[in-house]
Chain A
Amino acid sequence: MNMKIMVCVKQVPDTEMIKVDPVTGSLIREGVPSIINPFDLNALEAALQLRGEYGGNVAAVCMGPPQAEEALRDCLAMGADSAVLISDRVFKDSDTLATSYVLSLAARQFGPFDLILCGKHSLDGETGQVGPQIAEFLGWNQVTYVSKMTRTEEGFVIDREMEGGIEKVMTRTPIVCTVTKTHYEPRKATMKGKLMAKKAHVETVDSKTLNGLDTGRIGLVGSPTSVAKSFVPPDGEPGTVIEEPTAVESAAKLIKLLTKAEAI
């Protein structure tokens, strides 16, 4: 049986490369490359493996600025069948609830889908909220922190990566799953894939062409949360420095101090 799968992807700054202006507390974005959120690539890989086993097709969907088209072309190069970019300045400052609302509308417009896969969270916001909130707006079930999905006659057996172990659950489609990195190492795009992706069509929708959009529910106005401020975590005050001539003396001094402080 064919499966129609939507994969949500987000373009994020590479946090390994990021620097913060210590005075203004804002991110220095210049020279920081944008990458596809790594967990979204795990979600895409999971989708491609499911398609490989059961047939069907995979649509990559991204809400973001026009340059996010590049991220979608990377998804096409990896093997996604189609790509949708949702881009409009009115979406700016949308929080997770507003973003999920927009993505749920896209799911209706470009579906119907059996599965929606997201990364477990994004590298920039690190919230992991969009998957469950898309599920709510669609009225679907959700399974979060998914490390493995196995299709059965009745639906899916899914491994959830939890604190201290794996929880196995069973459920039926349609489902929104958020995927971890454990089992779905993303494949590399082939040269042929890259060439095809260059020429492929990326469907673009804006606030006017996204069906059923209520503009009161997007952007800063439609978002229940907003960022009041951001700042660089402060450096702590340096503590007691212990630098005796020998390690043995340093150790003795440390133990004396820790004993006095009742830390040991």
Chain B
Amino acid sequence: MVKTDYKNIWVYVEQKGGEIESVSLELCSEGRKLADSCGERLVAVVIGAQTDTACSSVEETGVDEIIYVKGDEYANYTTDPYVIAMTKLCEKYKPSAVLIGATSNGRDLAPRLAARLRTGSTADATEIIFNPETEDIDWTKPSFGGNLMATIVCNKTRPQIGTVRPATFKRAFPGKKSDLILTREDISVPSEEIRTRVLEFIKDEGDDGSKIEEADVVICVGAGLKSMDQISPFQELADLLGGMIGVTRPLVDKGFYTVKRQVGQSGKIIGPKLYIGFGISGAIQHTAGITSSEVIVAVNNNPNAKIFGCAHYAVVGDMFEVASALVEELKARRNGKS
């Protein structure tokens, strides 16, 4: 294998239920930086039964090229047809890297594709940087429960494949390039080669569809909450700010909330515009899940709480008193304005 035969940064664009996964757009914007720093082109790959809507949202991220594959066999993600299509595309175009969102399906696809191409794959990266000395990508990922960061390189083979954690990078829409190249590739997979059939998708009960990882504001509550009777100031604050309540693991263990609201390494990784953590000490298992937030506020009565180390605003005080005071202050301000 000659590494220099392989060029361009690819983003695999994932669709689910006809909608583009947010992480794919995040990767287009981070991929842009990567492509610019190594002087290569940024190519989005869209596969699906329908591809028009996805292609038009991807265009706005400023990619140089879009390659799309359309066919009924791609209506739902299943391993076989997607791996076959991606393998054919990689063999034909020889990309230097393929970025894939670290969703359940992305993490199903990436290792299998890498094994078929006999190349390396890094899972769940939170940083991707082109190293000009080695001309390889440095993929950095948390390991050992977030206690250690490891930088992985794929320095002997191409393409370099990796999944990247959702909500790590921000989406950006600088606009469609005037010289954008749109290429259709016809790859059909006979049905006997598709070994998995999707029967149905059952949405989580009590799930109104809103996801904490997509909320603009997250009010996070820690183990200081002893019963659900105490939740009202936090819920009210969340409502006032148009946000959602997130929790640390002890509250999930107590049954106050489901794991869908758990923020941290073993729960959801979030990157809201505003995060306010109440009574959270700042164990790395939790903070690893919030560091991409634009503004981090922590409220804790212990001035040495570890979470203050990653907070933009550290409020020393009682979580309940501060939450109630914030609610009153916000209400007063809004009434004053109206």
- A: residues with CB less than 8 A from B are 13, 15-16, 18-20, 25, 27, 95-97, 100, 121, 123-133, 135-137, 141-145, 157, 160-172, 223-233, 235-236, 238-243, 246-248, 250-252, 254-255, 257-258, 261, 263-264
Contacts and interface: CB of A to CB of B under 8 A. Distances in A.
B146 interface: yes
Interface stretch (B28-36, B49-57, B304-312): B304-312
B132 interface: no
B200 A255 contact: no
28 contacts: A15-B147, A27-B147, A97-B114, A97-B118, A100-B115, A126-B142, A127-B124, A128-B111, A132-B108, A157-B199, A162-B201, A163-B103, A164-B207, A164-B209, A164-B211, A165-B207, A224-B156, A225-B121, A227-B151, A233-B146, A233-B288, A235-B309, A236-B310, A238-B311, A238-B314, A243-B316, A251-B325, A264-B241
A142 B82 CA distance: 13
A164 B260 CA distance: 8
Interface stretch (B4-12, B61-69, B178-186, B190-198): B190-198
B107 A144 contact: yes
A13 B145 CA distance: 11
A261 B325 contact: no
Closest 10 CB pairs of A and B: A224-B120, A251-B325, A225-B120, A129-B111, A247-B321, A127-B123, A136-B115, A15-B145, A239-B312, A236-B310
Contacts, number: 242
Contacts of B80: 141
B143 to A, nearest CB: 6
A200 B93 CA distance: 53
Contacts of A247: 317-318, 321-322, 324-325
| Residue of A97, A228, A238, A240 with most partner-chain B CB within 10 A | A228
Nearest to B158: A224
Contacts of A171: 195-197
A261 B295 contact: yes
A239 B311 contact: yes
B330 interface: yes
Interface string B270-309: 0001100000000010001001001111000001000011
Interface string B146-188: 1111111111110000000000000000000000000000000
- Say whether chain A's binding surface is mostly helix, strand, loop, or mixed: mixed
A27 B122 CA distance: 20
B333 interface: yes
A169 B144 contact: no
A133 B297 contact: no
Contacts of A160: 104
A15 B288 CA distance: 15
Contacts of B329: 248, 251-252, 255
Given A240-B313, A263-B294, A226 B149 contact: no
A224 B111 contact: no
Contacts of A13: 144
A145 B314 contact: no
A174 to B, nearest CB: 10
B82 to A, nearest CB: 12
A226 to B, nearest CB: 6
Given A132-B112, A241-B314, A250-B322, A230 B209 contact: no
A157 B296 CA distance: 43
B92 interface: no
Nearest to B157: A224
A258 B326 CA distance: 12
B111 A96 contact: yes
B255 to A, nearest CB: 15
Nearest to B155: A226
Nearest to B152: A225
B315 interface: yes
B139 to A, nearest CB: 8
Contact of B120 (A95, A132, A261): A95
Given A163-B104, A166-B201, A166-B202, A97 B124 contact: no
B218 to A, nearest CB: 12
B235 interface: no
A129 B121 contact: yes
Contacts of B273: 263
A163 B145 contact: no
B316 A129 contact: no
